[in-house]
Structure 1
Amino acid sequence: MKARPCSGVIFTDLDNTLVDPRGEAGEAGDAYLEALELGYRIVPVTSKSIYEIIELWDSIGVPRGERLALVESGGAFYGPPGSLSRPTGFNRDVGLEYTELGRPLTSIDAILDSLARTCRTVRLSRANAWEARLITGLPLGRAVLAARREYLEVIWSGSQECLDAIFSKALQHRELTYVHRAPRTVQIAAHRGKGRAVDAALQEPLLRPCSRRVVTAGDSSHDIPIIERGDPSFRVDYNRDWSRLARPIYLVIPDKPPRAWRRLVETLKTLYKTPSL
Structure 2
Amino acid sequence: MPVTSADKRATFKKMHERGCFVLPNPYDVGTAKALQHLGFKAVASTSAGFAWTIGKADNHVTVDDVCDHLTAICAAVDIPVNADFEGGFAVKPEDVAVNVARGVKTGVAGLSIEDSTGDKDRPLFDAALAVERIKAARGAIDANHSGVLLTGRCEGFLWGVTDLKLVTERLQAYAAAGADCLYAPGIKTKEEIAAVVKAVHPKPVNLLIGASGLSVKQAEELGVRRISVGGSLARNAWAGFMKAAREMAEQGSFTDLAHGYPGGELNKMFR
Give TM-score scaled by structure 2 length.
Answer: 0.33
Please state which structure has a larger fraction of its residues in strand: 1
Give TM-score scaled by structure 1 length.
Answer: 0.32
Q: Which has the higher contact order (CA 8 A, sep 6+)?
A: 1
